[in-house]
Structure formats: structure tokens, C-alpha cells
Structure 1
Amino acid sequence: MALSTCSSNYVLGIDLGTTSVKVVLLDTLSRTATESQCLPTKADTGGSVPNAKEQIAERIIDTLNKCVTCLPREKLQKVVGIGVSGQMHGIVFWRAKRGCEWFGTDSVHMFKPKDISQLITWQDGRCSSDFLTSLPQPNSHINLATGFGCATIFWLLKHRPELLSEFNVAGTIHDYVVSMLCASKDCSISAQNAASWGYFNTVTHQWNLDILREAGFPVYLLPEPVESGTFAGHTCSEWHGVPANTPVGAALGDLQCSVYSSMTNKTDAVAASLNGGNVMATFVGMLTAWMKELGVEISESTIYPQLIQAAQAQLNTDVRVIPTVLGERHAASSQGQVSNISPWNLSLGHVTRALCRGILDNLVSMLPSQKLLEAGVERVVASGSALGRNEVLKQEVEKAFPLPVVYGKDVDSAVGVAMVCSDGLSRKQ
């Protein structure tokens, strides 16, 4: 597939996030996003399993359809490639050849899920430390954690084997979308997403099949690994105006695509933490819940700017916060801590400033400044919606690193995966 050099073609970038779906159209000539649409999925659902985090797959796909429908049809008809990214680690199950149903008019087709399970997300906490310890040791550079696809399958094998018997294909939610677009009989999974499930060796590019078979794991559910950045197939039909036979990239991780969209130089540094803006959101949610228990109704959108204003007035604090309430990739069982408190430093300004500093302290612990300098890093690229909303976090970023800090523009996974797809198409010319 050759990209036209005389008129604009587009790559459709899709990101299926934890709380929202975003789609963009990337102009292949300017490499800029000319159109975008983002909508909340509202897909979370309760369950009977303690600490479970599940989402309704049908709502995610419905949101995807709504987002793509909002894009200009005349530009969708000029789409020459589709890139898909999404929330990593999670897992959804479906039946081969029966995972969706296509519907619509002769000119506008779309699909909706059929014979599919709920999505068990990366935030799922059903696998206790004791349960994880009972599982075989993976041959992987990544430690196994709750919310990882293979750990979830092991849990279902023990506690809900009847659910596994209903399906014969598994993947991430973004792998599912790629499979449906291409009408694939099986599922392909990029090395990025496979590694996020556990029991995958990124050196050999293979699942730990011997280890898994010996443990009685249903290896038939595992998707076929493919190289990240390759194409999984072509659209089986016209889709929202996107022509049939359009190349579709193998689904990629949202973290990697976000980084790809923000890094422009080989000497840039990027690090990712599980405890960033989501920790601030947890803090705001806690305050909102406390106020409600006290009989005061106040929205989170009202609280957030007041916290930032209070922290800006409090330039320093001796309160110390370890913000790892969500664990970390290298220390899944870690928890948050607050220390050095006194009657004189419990104001919102002190605590919010300490929380923002703690988020950066945690990041620096994973990416020490000395290591950056030794590696020849010349600047830090800071990205994420939390930084866009939080001037205090920006202040703490600039204190934390002895290097120039730049703030990325158009930094998101949908843009990043569209860029990866565009680059792949260029290589095929």
C-alpha cells in the first residue's frame, strides 16, 4: 500500500481506554491529528467476586461506534490504515467466528459484540498474594500480578471453569476489535500486550507453554504472538465509511503508544507509573465521599481546582506521602503511606502539595536522575492529562529532574498508534 503524496490520506487511530474511547484521524502528510472524538464508556459493572473490576464489552464497542460516527465521512473514506491501542493486562473471551454481528445499511456497516464475556480489566484484584504465590514462576522479565490476563485465567480455572468452557478465544479488548474488523478466526496479539499478560518471554517471543501446560493451563486460549508494529490483517467490510480491505495493525499497548506520540528525539526520557493522575483522582474521590457522608453534596470538578489553589499557596511542606495506592509494576503489593504529620500541617494545601511531590518521588525512584545523565538523556518529556490540569505537579516535575522539561502536545495513545500505523504503511511502499 503506497501513501499518496499529492493529496491527504488518513490513518484512523483508536484507543480503548479504561474509562473512555478516543479516535483520531491522522493526516499522513503532516503527521498531525486533524479530527478527534472522545467519549466516556460508562462500562464498569458490579460483580459478586470480591475486588473484581469488570466492564461490559458491549458498552465499549457501542462507544467506539459513536466516536467513529462523529468523524467526517468524507475523511473516513480516505482512511488507508487503522491502528488500535487500549488498556493493557485485561482479558475478554469470545467464540471464534461468532464474536460479533455486523449490521447497518448498504453504505454504513458496523459491528456489535456477540457471544462475548465481560472484560476483566487490569484493575482487577481477585488474585490475592497467596493465590499468585501458588502459581508457577513465569519465564519472563515481568513479575506476575493480579489483573494480568494469564493470572486471571488461572483464577477462573480454579473458581469458574464453566465460564472458560463457554469460549475458545481470548485477547485484550483492543485485540478483540482488531479480530472483528478483520473477521479473523483466531486472535493475534502483539508482544506488548502478550508481555502484559504474564508468562511471555520477550526474548524468544513465545509463551511459556511448557510451564503453563504442566500447570494445567488452557493454552488453546492464548492468542498467537506477532511483532509489535506489524499488520494483523485487513478490514473484512466497509466500516463507518472506511473502505473494505484497509490494513489494520496488530493492537498495541496504550502506554507504549502514548510514549511514541511524545518522543521526538532519541535522547528524550519517558517513564510511566501506575500512580499518577489516577492517585489525584482517588484523593478527590475520597474527599467527595467524606463530604457526602457529612451531608454536603459537592462535585469533584469543584473540589479539584480548590485543591490546586491551596497547594500553590503552600510552596513547601514536611508532610510525606508515598502514593502507591495502586501498587507498581515492580511491586504490585505496595501500598500508600502518609507520615510526618502534625496538628500544624494537616491543611489541604500541605496534604495536596505532599501528594503531588510523592507522585514525583515515586517516579524518580524508578528513573533516577543519575541514570538519566549516564544514559545521555538531554531532556524529560512530560505528558498526561494530569499535568495539563495541575500546575503543582508541573512545579514538582521541574524540581525533581536536573534536566530541561518539555510538555508534550497531542500526547495520547490514539495519536501514537496512528503514527505507528502510518510508519508501518510507509515501510510497505
Structure 2
Amino acid sequence: MSTSREDVSAPAYILGIDLGTTSVKAALIDSDTKEIVSTASSETGAGVSSEIGPQGNEQDTSKIIRACSACVSGLPRDNLVKVRSIGVSGQMHGCVLWKSGNGWSNTGTSGYDTDKCSHLVTWQDQRCSSEFLASLPAPKSHLRLATGHGCATLFWLQRNRPEVIQEYDCAGTIQDFLVTMLCNLQKPLMSVQNAASWGYFDTINKVWNIEVLSEAGFPVHLLPDVKIPGVEAGHLESSWCGIPKGIPVGVALGDMQCSILPSLKIETDAVLNISTSAQLSFKMPRNFIPPHSEPGSAIEYFPYFNDSYLAVAAALTGGNALATLVKMLQQWMHDLGHETPQAQIYDKLLSSAQETKETDLVISPTLFGERHLPNQRASVTNITTENVSLGHLSRAACHGIISNLHDMMSRDFLVKSGVNRIVGSGSALTRNKVLQQEIESIFDLPLLYGQGGDAAVGAALTRTMKFTD
């Protein structure tokens, strides 16, 4: 069959999707130039109350999937018909369950009905106490287990809500669920990146700790098959949002790794990404074998691409701490009889902090603890009559976020590891000059901002790379 010159020269695009904690992002890149053609985002509004109370952190899976379809549909339709591959990333650690063949239905209107699957139990979930985690078998993995990790969540459900486990026969991260749905797979596939984030996964041999889990009564039938990052998971089962049926879809990836990929162009760089949470990371040398995480150590080694690893300080404290501060102030204003939009409060916080160049007010903003210190909580100290203004409060909160990261991965550790520059990215960082000032002051390393950091772009870029399973 002949092909016209017009067909040969027609641009082809790659779609990248990132299912984040609060929003979905989509990006189209040119498959040849790797340049970004178009982007879109949609807030999910997916948070729901958990039946177990404040310790639970859950999201409505159907709202996330609807936001995804809306986000992709927001890209130019003339470009969507030229999409030739799809890459997907999303929030790591979380767990959603569904029944094979009954987890979704194609509505035929660029969307899916996913009301029959479970809520997503997110990475922020706190149901697995330190005592509960101590009752679980030790993983045969260099990575520690923490609350919010998929396998810990499934252990908790097996012991406390066995009827939930009995209702479903598939499980995965939210991004694994999306790929399974788009490709109409009977059993989910999971990348090494997402498997490592669940716990009980040996990243060296790329296998689950089946024997350990089975002996402890874990529902091992729910564990997905695992593939190396970057390989194909399947093909688009039907046309979606104007994207042609049959195009390849990559196995779902971790949002941290995909957010780093566009930024990490020089191996002596470290990448600092601050969005809902925060991560400071750099790539380890070739043939690096990760050591087991020591108790209390804040640094872990996560699988990246092509059998390489990242040294990572993954903080649970990031933009979510500032968001909590904004919500608190909004509630106080409401209690005083004034309704003030959150955006207005946030802008006022930043402008006030800009006017307050330094403060002796000390805020440790670790509201959610940290994985290496799960019982740590936030605190405010050294309060005086001179430092109780809004500017001092905001400046101290931003300082605390960066100080917490520095406590986890210090400037000295970076320099000794060969890092000579930090690349900053992430929505909570790139639009917050105060956080940027605190990084420059605390880390005292050359800094570059706004270069990459978009996990949707990173997910798309992986579809241009070569991998073998």
C-alpha cells in the first residue's frame, strides 16, 4: 500500500498522562523533536471521607478517571487524532481494587464508568500504625515498608475488612488501573517502579516476596505481574477522546521518576521537586547495588530506568503543609464571619513573607510525619510578641519545609556524592518565590528553576526511549 508524501510528513504526537494527588495533567510532545506541543490539567476533587475516620485517606476512583478523560479531551482534537503512543504515570504507593471484567464499562462518549471499583487508598493514608506495621513480616527488599504502601494497605484490609478483599480479584495503583482499563487487560501489569513503591518487592531480582507474603496470609492473588519501566503494556482497546484505537500504551510508571526525567539532563545534578509532597534526588552510578534501608535513615534508593537507581529523600511534607495552613486561616476567617477565597489567602501569605526576609519563629511543618519518623508531628516554637505576624508565619512555614528536606538529605551529602547543582521543579516550588529563596539560603548550591518537572511530559518522553523486557 502506497503512502503519500503528505502522510509521511504529517506530525506524530505522544500523549503523556499523570494522575496526581490533586489533579490530572496531560501533555502532547512531538515524537521527533520531543518538544511540548500542548498541555492541559484538571482538578480531580476526588477526596472522600473514609469509613475508618481521619486515619484513612481515600479518593473516589471514578472522579479521577472522569477528570482524566476531561483533561485529555481538553487537548486540541486535531492533535489527538495524531497520537501514536501513550505514556502514563501517577501517584505512587496507593491501592485501588477491582474485579476482572467488571471494573469498568466504556460509555462510548470518550469516558468510562468505573463505579464498581474500590476507592483509591492513597499514599497519605495513615491506617497502618507503627504497631500494625511491626506485626507484619519483614520484607525481603532494600526498601522499608510504611503506611500508605499498597501491600501494607492490603494487609490491613485482609485483617480488618476481609469482605473487601473477597469482593475483588485485581489490585494496582491508580495509574495501573487506568492502563488496564484503556487496554482492556484481564490482569493488571505493574512497572518495577510502582511495585517497589508497594513494598515486599525485590528490585534486584524483580520479584514479589511471594513466600513471605503467603506465609503471613496475604492475598497474593491480587499482586499484578511486573514489567520493567518503559515497556509496552498493551494497546488502546477502543478510540478514546479522539485518539485512534490500537495505539500502544506503556506500562504505568511512578510520578516521581517521570517528574525527574525531563529535568535530570546532567548526572551531577540533583532534582528537587515540590508539589503536594517533596522529593530531592540524584542518579546513582552505573552498576550501583542498593543497600538495605537503615532504621531512621531518610534516604532510600528507588528504581529509575534501565536498571539504574535514584538516591531519594522523599518527604511527606511539601505543598500540602502550605495548603493546610491556608485552610486553617480560611476556617479562622469563616469563624470570625468573613469568607475569603483560598487563592486570596495564599497570595497574601506569599506577599507578606516576601516583605519578611527572615524570622526567628520556628515551624516544623511535618503534619503528616515522615516515613523514616512516622510518629513525628508538626510544632511551632520560639513564639514572641514580635514574630506573630502573617509574614513571619508564612516565612517560617516555607523555611520549615526546606529545612525538613535538608535534614533528610543535606548539602554535605549532596556535595560528597558529586552533586554540584540543584534543578528545582514542581508546581508548589516554581510559583513560590519564598520557597526558592529558602532553598538558595539553606542549600547554598547553584540553582536552576522551571526546567522540566512535569510527570506527564516525562511519561510521554519514556515512549521515545528504548527498553527491553
* TM-score band w.r.t. shorter chain: over 0.9
Indicate the residue corresponding to 2:221 in structure 1.
220
Indicate the residue corresponding to 1:329 in structure 2.
371
| Cα pair 1:127 1:151 within 8 Å, conserved | yes
SS of the residue 2:261 aligns to: helix
1-side partners of 2:372 and 2:30: how far apart? 38
2-side partners of 1:6 and 1:315: how far apart? 54
| Cα pair 1:170 1:187 within 8 Å, conserved | yes
Is 1:310 matched up with 2:352? yes
| Cα pair 2:69 2:110 within 8 Å, conserved | no
1-side partners of 2:131 and 2:417: how far apart? 38
Indicate the residue corresponding to 1:372 in structure 2.
414
| Cα pair 1:5 1:29 within 8 Å, conserved | no
Indicate the residue corresponding to 2:238 in structure 1.
237
SS of the residue 1:80 aligns to: strand
| Cα pair 1:101 1:114 within 8 Å, conserved | no
Is 1:262 matched up with 2:263? yes
2-side partners of 1:260 and 1:251: how far apart? 15
2-side partners of 1:232 and 1:23: how far apart? 19
1-side partners of 2:225 and 2:165: how far apart? 18
Indicate the residue corresponding to 1:86 in structure 2.
90
What amino acid is aligned across from residue 32 of structure 2 in structure 1? L
Indicate the residue corresponding to 1:28 in structure 2.
31
Is 1:54 matched up with 2:58? yes
CA positional deviation for 1:109: 5.1
Deviations 1:125-154 (A, max 9, x none): 222222122111222222222211111111
CA positional deviation for 1:410: 4.5
Indicate the residue corresponding to 1:130 in structure 2.
131
Q: Using the aligned pairs only, state the percent identity.
A: 47
CA positional deviation for 1:344: 2.1
| Cα pair 2:364 2:380 within 8 Å, conserved | yes
Deviations 1:177-202 (A, max 9, x none): 11111111111111111111111121
Number of residue pairs matched by the alignment:
420
Indicate the residue corresponding to 2:310 in structure 1.
none
C-alpha change, 1:159 and 1:354, in structure 2 (3 Å) is same
Is 1:281 matched up with 2:281? no
SS of the residue 1:261 aligns to: coil
Is 1:95 matched up with 2:96? no
CA positional deviation for 1:317: 1.4
What amino acid is aligned across from residue 120 of structure 2 in structure 1? L
SS of the residue 1:346 aligns to: coil
Indicate the residue corresponding to 2:282 in structure 1.
none
Deviations 1:254-288 (A, max 9, x none): 11111112222111102403212211111111111
| Cα pair 1:90 1:119 within 8 Å, conserved | yes
C-alpha change, 1:183 and 1:315, in structure 2 (3 Å) is same
1-side partners of 2:71 and 2:346: how far apart? 27
1-side partners of 2:422 and 2:451: how far apart? 14
| Cα pair 2:61 2:118 within 8 Å, conserved | yes
SS of the residue 2:465 aligns to: helix
CA positional deviation for 1:249: 0.8
Deviations 1:175-228 (A, max 9, x none): 011111111111111111111111112122111111111110110001111111
Is 1:73 matched up with 2:74? no
What amino acid is aligned across from residue 353 of structure 1 in structure 2? R
2-side partners of 1:75 and 1:234: how far apart? 19
2-side partners of 1:27 and 1:161: how far apart? 47
Indicate the residue corresponding to 2:142 in structure 1.
141
Greater RCO, 1 or 2 (C-alpha within 8 Å, sep 6+): 1
SS of the residue 1:262 aligns to: coil
2-side partners of 1:31 and 1:42: how far apart? 31
Indicate the residue corresponding to 1:180 in structure 2.
181
1-side partners of 2:352 and 2:328: how far apart? 17
Indicate the residue corresponding to 1:111 in structure 2.
112
What amino acid is aligned across from residue 14 of structure 2 in structure 1? V
SS of the residue 2:142 aligns to: coil
| Cα pair 1:88 1:253 within 8 Å, conserved | yes
SS of the residue 1:165 aligns to: helix
| Cα pair 1:13 1:82 within 8 Å, conserved | yes
Indicate the residue corresponding to 2:290 in structure 1.
none
Deviations 1:313-332 (A, max 9, x none): 22121122222112223323
Indicate the residue corresponding to 1:291 in structure 2.
333
| Cα pair 2:62 2:113 within 8 Å, conserved | yes
Deviations 1:330-350 (A, max 9, x none): 323321122222222222222
2-side partners of 1:236 and 1:306: how far apart? 48
Deviations 1:41-90 (A, max 9, x none): 11111232122111111111111111222222221121111011111111
What amino acid is aligned across from residue 66 of structure 1 in structure 2? A
Is 1:13 matched up with 2:13? no
Deviations 1:387-424 (A, max 9, x none): 23221111111112232100024421111111112224
2-side partners of 1:69 and 1:355: how far apart? 38
SS of the residue 1:376 aligns to: coil
CA positional deviation for 1:114: 5.2
2-side partners of 1:219 and 1:78: how far apart? 40
2-side partners of 1:376 and 1:46: how far apart? 45
What amino acid is aligned across from residue 69 of structure 1 in structure 2? S
1-side partners of 2:49 and 2:379: how far apart? 28
CA positional deviation for 1:97: 2.0
C-alpha change, 1:7 and 1:401, in structure 2 (3 Å) is farther
| Cα pair 1:81 1:422 within 8 Å, conserved | no
C-alpha change, 1:295 and 1:114, in structure 2 (3 Å) is closer
Indicate the residue corresponding to 2:441 in structure 1.
399
| Cα pair 2:66 2:111 within 8 Å, conserved | no
Deviations 1:146-182 (A, max 9, x none): 2111111111111111111111000011101111111
CA positional deviation for 1:12: 0.6
Indicate the residue corresponding to 1:411 in structure 2.
453
Deviations 1:287-316 (A, max 9, x none): 111222222221211111211122122212
